Each structure stands twice: as structure tokens, then as C-alpha cells.
Structure 1
């Protein structure tokens, strides 16, 4: 009788089981290393939504890299309120100070003023003062100023020199202190004008920038008017200038810095909104 011998290729059943279990354990361990747990993978595959910022198996093509965080939008630099695109475009790019004088209406002599600064281009324009009461010409505003029209010229103009009857109050602008700034008599409403030119800042309309406020040269011609200043308020309308209370004039002179290329942006609301 021949004796049956087991084939060399066959192994006892427990050997197969041991190998299968070891493979299963390795697979589960690999799944843990990718997603945390095998249960977590089954949850995503079943349609569960991963929370924001947590990587899922499909967040990066199954390669296991963390998904990017929430999108942070880029903030635009702040613009000066109530100025339209055309007005903004006329403010020189290198100007970092802008006194905005806003008339109540086209024919009104009442207005307000705020100084804005742009020290950080990434942040844009920031208000440097509160809103100050101001006045302008008796008949309001005009886009085309002529001598004796009793209107203030709208637009954007440089502020490059100052002066006054009184000593300079610590200003950085070129300052011409002179007795020629003495004034007397009455304004358009009969109010006294004395002290109106204690402090003045020349508006670079129809004048040579940087010259004394007392300079009489008119590049556009005498008929286009001139001598437009920002000066001390005298409780009445002006012939074309802008006025501020005396303490605000002193404060403005101390704040303006020629290195920041200061300008005045002036006009009635519709003109500035263009």
C-alpha cells in the first residue's frame, strides 16, 4: 500500500489566516496614517462633509496634503469719502495731505472742511481732523472763476506757502509774516474784517506756486481772478476765499507738511462727486 504524503505547496489553514490578518492590519494602519481612522474614510465616502480647513481624501487627489485655509480677500486702500472718480484722479499721486472743503450747495457760502492724510498707501486716506465749519464765496462755487464773480473756484489746488499778520504758529510751510496782511473795514454782510489775515494759506489758483501769498502775478491773466486764500473767518461770506475759525487755522498750519505735497480739494457736493 502506498502512503499519501501532503503536497509541498499546501500549508495548514492557520498559516493562510495569519498572513491574511497581517495584511489587513497593515492596510488599516495605512488608512489611519492618511485620514486618522478607517472609520473617518468610510464617513467621507458615505457623503459626510469635512469641516472647513480639514483635509479629506479628495481634497488633494487622495495624496493626503492639507487643504488650503479660507480665502482672505485683498483690502483696497481707503478713498476720501464723497469724491467721485474724476476728482480723485486730479489729486496728485504723491500728495499725502488733502484738505477737503465741501460746500453745502452750488449757491451757498457755507461749507465744511476735513484734513485727510495718506501716510500708509496700503491703508489709503484717513481723516486727521474732525469736521470743521467753513465759509466760501458769497455766491457759492464755479468751475470757471472770473474776477469779481463772488464765487470760489472748484478743483484741486496745491498749498505751498503761507503768511499772516501774526508770527508763524510753528508751521512747516514757507511763512511770510508781514504788516501788509493788516486789514480793516467791513465784509459783504457788514461784518468787521479786522484779524481776517492774521493767518493765511495761499491756494495755488492762478498764482505761482511757492510764492508769497502777497505775490500779485496771475499766470491766467488778471481777469481770471486770484488772491484765493484760506484765512481766518470773519463771520461772513468771502469774495472767493475759504475761511476757518482762528484756532482751526492755527491747527491746520501746524499740520500741513510741504514734504507731503498738501492740496485743497474744494467745491460743492455735485462738483466733488464727479
Structure 2
């Protein structure tokens, strides 16, 4: 039989415990304890996927509303060889490639982040893609398309290759130009000395002056894929610069 001292001590402790439970002030759970025994631990949501090969400087230049990106990656700063991959952005999952790498050409002397007319380098950066055109009939692109015989390429390229047909399809790169106009428009907001007329156009199997070039069938695919409602851009430069 318990002593009088033990009985008197236990009564206040029991009363205090009942009061704590009533007020919801139960003692803290041990670390790692689950609110519901047997309930699975929640899995943290994965961060949206980024475009491979792009460093923070280039990623920050892509507008938040953009959901299509044409990524042109040059082999090196001084190379005229590059590869093009198309990407689309899901608002939750992030960026995902929707094409295999396509072989491409860029300017004869490679790339620069300070482009000037006649330097024979392609400008590095992120530029809008809002307007298209060509000598051939519109293949069905959603972009505004200007069909004209003025998209006429004559002469030979740097390797002696014929340039004929190079402008059968073009997509204007919004470097030093007014968006919403024909690729043939010669307005140069930064002045003519900073170059212009930089396009994605049909490949002539050699380096370009400043443009990016793809085979005829890839140009057609690109035109059919681009959607102005997704605010498409081109992200272009040599691999080392894009990774900054």
C-alpha cells in the first residue's frame, strides 16, 4: 500500500498532466517522429530543369515568359562549326529538349559578345525570334512570313561554295533590328556599324558572315515548330561563353 507522501506527490503530477493535455501542450515529439504513425515522409519537389550547358549569366537573359529556345552551341570561340538543339519549357518541370542536335554553321571567325559589321563573327547572346521569310512559299509557320524574290543569295561563300538558295527560308534574329518587321527591313537601332541582318537560314555548306545556318529540311522543321505565343528566343555562342 503506498505511503501518504507518495499519494500526495502523485496527485498534483497527475492533475498537471491532465491540464497539459487539455490545453494541447503535450510534450514535444522526439526528433524524426511522424505526426501520424506509419505515414510516409513527404518528398521534396525537384527544381525545374535548366537547359544543359548554360551558366547563370545566360540563363538570366532568357525572359520568364519564354517557353521555346533555339540553343546554338559553337565548338569554340574561333570555330564556324556549331550544333542546334530545340528546347521547350514546362511551367513545372522546366526545360526539355525536343530535338536531337542538328549540325550548323556560324560565322567564319567564330563568336563575339561585341559584334561589329564586317568582323565575320556571330553575336553571342539571347535574342528574340519574331519574324520569318524567304524566297519559297510559307511552309505553314505561325510566325509572320514575308515571301519575296528579294531573298536572293548570289555568288560564292568563303570555301567557294555557291550561295544560291541560302535565303529560301530565313528566321530573323533580333540583333540590332526592329521586331515585327520583315527580315529584309534595314532599320538598325544601334547604328549600321554594329551590323545587322543576322538570320538563321539555309546552310550553304560553309561558314557565314554572322548568321547561323541549317539544312533546308531542318529550317522547315524550325519554321513549323516556332510559336510566337511561346515567346521564342535563340541562345547562341561558343560553348565556353554559354557556360558562364
- TM category (shorter chain) comes to 0.7 to 0.9
Q: Which residue of 2 aligns with 1:184?
A: 154
Q: Which residue of 1 aligns with 2:61?
A: 90
CA apart distance, 1:126: 0.8
Secondary structure of the 1:234 match is coil
TM-score by length of 2: 0.85
On the 8 A contact 1:59/1:67 being kept in 2, the answer is no
Determine whether 1:230 maps to 2:230. no
Determine whether 1:206 maps to 2:176. yes
Q: Which residue of 2 aligns with 1:216?
A: 186
Q: Which residue of 1 aligns with 2:144?
A: 174
Structure 2: any 5+ residue segments left out of the alignment? 1-31
Matches for 1:30-45 after TM superposition, within 5 Å = none
TM-score by length of 1: 0.76
Larger RCO of the pair (alpha carbons < 8 Å, separation 6+): 2
| Structure with greater Cα Rg | 1
Determine whether 1:149 maps to 2:119. yes
| Residues 9-34 of structure 1: CA deviation (Å, up to 9, x unaligned) | xxxxxxxxxxxxxxxxxxxxxxxxxx
Secondary structure of the 2:46 match is coil
Determine whether 1:129 maps to 2:99. yes
RMSD value, Cα: 1.6
On the 8 A contact 1:184/1:194 being kept in 2, the answer is yes
Secondary structure of the 2:100 match is coil
Alignment size in residue pairs: 214
* Alpha-carbon spacing, 1:84–1:60, altered in 2? closer, same or farther (3 Å): closer
CA apart distance, 1:59: 4.7
CA apart distance, 1:221: 0.4
Q: Which residue of 1 aligns with 2:217?
A: 247
CA distance in 2, matches of 1:114, 1:67: 46
Q: Which residue of 2 aligns with 1:103?
A: 74
One of 143, 157, 162 as aligned partner of 2:132: 162
CA apart distance, 1:67: 4.1
CA distance in 1, matches of 2:197, 2:188: 9
